[in-house]
Amino acid sequence: MQNIRHLSYNDIEALFLQIGEKKFRAKQVWEWLWQKNARGFNDMTNLSKELRQKLAEQFSFPALTIETTQYSEDGTIKSRFVTFDGYKVEGVLIPTEERKTVCVSSQVGCSLGCKFCATGFMGRKRNLDFDEIYDEVVLVNQHSEKTFGQKLTNIVFMGMGEPLLNYNNVLKAIERISAEDGLFMSPKRITVSTAGIAKMIKKLGDDKVRFKLALSLHAANDKKRSEIMPINDTNNIQSLTEALNYFYKHTGNEITFEYILFKNFNDSQKDADELVKLYRQIPVDLINIIEYNTIENASFDKPEENVTNSFMEYLASKRVNARLRKSRGKDIDAACGQLANKG
């Protein structure tokens, strides 16, 4: 049975004309699907029961549901979603005074096997469809309104999975999220984070996307980066430098680096110097220096505070725009790198 949300507006219009219904019914159904956030055909209360029954017999409507919600001491909220076929993914609401940000997943698990990320130890089960990604945003937005009295302000694709390995669904989800007849959120408030797939970064440039891009860098030389991120063997730093410059030339969109500090691995002044040199080769707006969050199966630690401070001071002395990002939601395994359907 076909998923009704995989039909275009024109498809739905044609369907209603075919079954002898008025054309305006298409607009009503479309609004329920993408603006009024129906969870099933029975929610579509301005349609007759008979018409709702007809739709239910002809189409599926596999909406994401929330299985559990966990609340951190720092205000972070983690939701575990269940797909129609029983897979589980997680999303995180990160509230601050100025922003309400949702961190969404794009895949069930991840195939890239980064050595510091809990999701990487799960392997990849399947891609999320664009409507499932859309549901994550809708459900977390409802949480935000209920808990904080505010809608989401920002979306980051930094949850489970590699967004550029689910390219079409991620772009379609963003189109629906930013569309006037969708959630109507500005693409400038959306950031897609990638472990670095050069040809797909260039494709983003060719497709003239309007959202921001973040590169999970974590080491500024190939030897170290390959040790912790196997993807670097086929997408080295030189190829990523070229791809990011291509992306910027074609879009002008903001680029950030994500850099987790690991004790005695990438936290020395030499590491900072390599990071500065790379920063100078790409129009990077900001480097987010991230606190490491411990996970099972990984042997990394976070550096002592004085080492982190020295690293930040060195970057500042070189006039690098860098910010130390404090971990949020560690107590509920909701922080960076911790999403693995635990608890």
Is the predicted pLDDT of residue 149 greater than 60, yes or no? Answer: yes
Q: Are residues 238 and 218 located together in one domain of the fold?
A: yes
What sign results for the dihedral spanned by CA atoms 12, 15, 21, 23? positive
Q: Are residues 129 and 54 in the same domain?
A: no
For residue 96, the 8-state DSSP code is: -
Give the confidence band of 255 by pLDDT, cuts at 50, 70, 90: very high
One domain, residues 200 and 71: yes
Closest CA to 288 of 158, 118, 122: 158
Q: How confident is the model at residue 334 (pLDDT cuts 50, 70, 90)?
A: low
Q: Please answer whether residues 103 and 95 qualify as being in contact, where contact means their C-beta atoms are separated by less than 8 angstroms.
A: no
What tens digit of pLDDT does each residue of 54-69 get? 999 999 999 999 999 9
Domain with 211, as residue range(s), is 65-332
Cα distance between residue 34 and residue 131, in whole Å: 9
Q: Are residues 41 and 99 in the same domain?
A: no
Q: Does the pLDDT at position 85 exceed 60?
A: yes
- Whether 239 and 317 map to the same domain: the answer is yes
User: Residue 41: which CATH number?
Assistant: 1.10.150.530
Q: What is the pLDDT of residues 266-291, one digit of tens each?
A: 999 999 999 999 999 999 999 999 98
Q: Residue 343: pLDDT above 90? A: no
Mean pLDDT of 107-129: 87
**CA 299-73-149 angle, 5° bins:** 130
pLDDT the model gives residue 330: 64
Residue 71 lies in a domain: yes
Instruction: Out of 60, 77, 100, pick the residue that ends a domain.
Output: 60
Q: What confidence category does residue 73 fall into, taking pLDDT thresholds of 50, 70 and 90? A: confident
Mean confidence (pLDDT) of the chain: 92
Give the rounded percent of residues in the chain with a pLDDT score beyond 90: 81
Statement to judge: residues 28 and 104 lie in one domain: no
Task: Decide if 185 is inside a domain.
Answer: yes
Number of domains, the chain = 2
Is the pTM higher than 0.85?
yes
CB 271 within 8 A of CB 303: no
Whether the pLDDT of residue 210 is over 80: the answer is yes
Q: Give catalytic residue positions.
A: 90, 336
